[in-house]
Structure 1
Amino acid sequence: MVIKCNNGHWYDSNVDLVCPHCKRENGKLAMRLDDKEEDDKTVSFIDVAEDMQGLDQQIAGSLSVGSSGSSDAVDDFDFGMEDIDIDDSDKTIALGFFGVSEEIQPVTGWLVCTRGEEKGKDYRLHSGKNFIGRSAKMDVVLLKDNQIAREKHASIVYDPKGHGFYISPEDANLVYHNDQLLAKVQELRENDKIRIGETE
């Protein structure tokens, strides 16, 4: 449907959500409803916020003609950007992740590092198998201990039916449970000591 913007420009609202002439003249940000996310560019949050505020009136003007052809004025159309206090320190910040949402896994227990480079840090355990290693893909990440395998040095399994924790070495890696070399799956009890590499 061809409509006229507040500045007197004519454009097709089925193709552009806001007036492309005003967009080009003002250098403003405009998005079509079916636009895809651009992840190759870093943009200032300040610029986006200012652009979104400027688009309020343009979009309100473009929405003033309803689907039935009647002219219904849109009085209050905004993006809610006025209430945002913006500190432009030129730091890149993540505003959200638009990928597949992951199911939140409830915490079933914790490990606490008592010796090593990460002393004092705690690690959350979830139901099922928790892999231990240096890689960010692991459930328990011991990044600073180079004696630990990058992936799957050991695993701790939480059994939801029996309400128990079990530790197991993976791929013939050395794991100590209460100062004894772990050769097979062993049940963990409260205050048990696990040593992997230089981390305890």
Structure 2
Amino acid sequence: MGAKLTQCPNGHYYDAEQYTSCPYCQSVTSNSFNDTDRVTDSFIPAQGSGYGYGGNGNDDRTMPIDHISERQPMRYTSPTATPTAPLNQRTAVQEAYDEGKTVPYFGGFPETDIPAGDNVTTNPSFSGNVRNPKPVVGWLVCVEGTNYGHSFCLYAGKNFVGRASDMDICLKGDDSVSRTKHAIITYEPKERKFFAQPGESHELFYVNDNVVLTSAELKDRDEISVGKTKLVFVPFCDSKYGWEK
């Protein structure tokens, strides 16, 4: 059975079935200072004194805190000055989360208490953020090579093919592929056509086993060979559909 969450005036959540009042607030109150405190070496000695308070060596005597001079600032830090939320409080919130309840978050809990889940900030069919989408216009599907079974999205304009991680089509693991700009796959949105052309590499590549020295228009299911990798071209935009309207 899920916990019965109750919120105290200070914004803490606790299980009302286990506690009659907020255990978090009680832990802070119970550790507050009294009107007097033991003066020990936790205080900075007055300038010119011997040792301890007043320089008389009586480190353990008790005196009211309000009698201590402002020139003698306390550096005492209570071990519970910043109490953590009780374990049962975090458990109650976790149970509520697991049951699908909406629980407001006011701070005070470790970030790991509530699972982050899959924070999907972008659509896999888009490049960039959702507010300014860059729609996919086609794909290259690897049918041979180290990236076998993987697909790569194509976008309007030039798509650079290479082995480096900053390439639009990154063919990792194939050392026969140039690191940068081995080939270029271009989508021209006005005519809705795709082209393959050489990049800045000295290495060659092929479309349907024909070497590409200048530019070659791509058709549906054309095979592109780059190094030891073979890619199949699959268009999304064509004469029947385009994002440009």
Q: Which TM-score band applies after superposition, normalised by the shorter structure?
A: 0.5 to 0.7
> Given the two structures, how large is their TM-score scaled by the length of structure 2?
0.45
1:25 to 2:51 alignment: no
Q: May I ask how many residue pairs the two structures share in their alignment?
A: 134
Q: Is the 8 A contact 2:141 2:149 kept in 1?
A: yes
How big is the shift at 1:80?
8.1
The equivalent residue for 1:137 is 166
1:117 to 2:143 alignment: no
**CA separation in 1, counterparts of 2:168 and 2:79?**
50
What is the CA deviation profile of residues 52-89 of structure 1, one whole-angstrom value per residue up to 9, with x for unaligned ones?
x7xxxxxxxxxxxxxxxxxxxxxxx931899x99698x
**CA separation in 2, counterparts of 1:122 and 1:185?**
23
How big is the shift at 1:173?
2.7
> Given the two structures, how large is their TM-score scaled by the length of structure 1?
0.54
Q: Residue 114 of structure 1: SS of its match in structure 2?
A: strand
Percentage of matched positions with identical amino acids: 30
How big is the shift at 1:135?
1.7
Cα RMSD after superposing both structures: 4.0
Give the ranges of 4+ consecutive aligned residues of structure 1 lying more than 2 Å apart after TM superposition: 5-9, 21-25, 84-88, 93-97, 101-104
What is the CA deviation profile of residues 94-122 of structure 1, one whole-angstrom value per residue up to 9, with x for unaligned ones?
8688xxx6443111011111211222221
Larger of the two Rg values belongs to structure: 2
1:160 to 2:189 alignment: yes
Does the C-alpha gap of structure 1 residues 114 and 96 become closer, same or farther in structure 2, counting only changes over 3 Å? closer
**CA separation in 1, counterparts of 2:174 and 2:221?**
22
**CA separation in 2, counterparts of 1:80 and 1:190?**
54
Q: Is the 8 A contact 2:163 2:174 kept in 1?
A: yes
The equivalent residue for 1:182 is 212
The equivalent residue for 1:128 is 157
Task: Give ranges in structure 2 of 5+ residues lacking alignment.
Answer: 1-9, 11-24, 33-77, 94-102, 122-127, 231-245
Q: Is the 8 A contact 2:146 2:172 kept in 1?
A: no
Does the C-alpha gap of structure 1 residues 142 and 190 become closer, same or farther in structure 2, counting only changes over 3 Å? same
Does the C-alpha gap of structure 1 residues 192 and 135 become closer, same or farther in structure 2, counting only changes over 3 Å? same
How big is the shift at 1:176?
0.9
Does the C-alpha gap of structure 1 residues 22 and 79 become closer, same or farther in structure 2, counting only changes over 3 Å? farther
